[in-house]
Amino acid sequence: MIPLTFADVGTDVIIKKVGGSPEVKQHLADLGFVVGGTVTPISELGGNLIVKVKESRVAVSREMASKIMV
């Protein structure tokens, strides 16, 4: 497992674990970051990671992305 921040751009990856406090986990789940879900890193912009989740593009901070293990 590696953090989402290290995943290759343009490669579909499957979420294996979501870390952080219960509030952080719930926030990420609300955005579509759930175990077993597929995400695709699109680009990095100003320290934020742009990812495709469930046919939507979402920007997450590097700190949040490091809590998502793929």
Q: Residue 15 above 90 pLDDT?
A: yes
pLDDT of residue 47: 83
CATH code, domain with 36? 2.30.30.90
pLDDT of residue 45: 86
Q: What is the pLDDT of residues 19-65, one digit of tens each?
A: 999 999 999 999 999 999 999 999 998 889 999 998 899 999 999 99
Q: Which domain holds residue 50?
A: 4-69
The predicted model scores a pTM of 0.88
pLDDT of residue 33: 94
Q: How many domains does the chain have?
A: 1
pLDDT of residue 64: 92
Cα 31 to Cα 35: distance, rounded to the nearest angstrom = 12
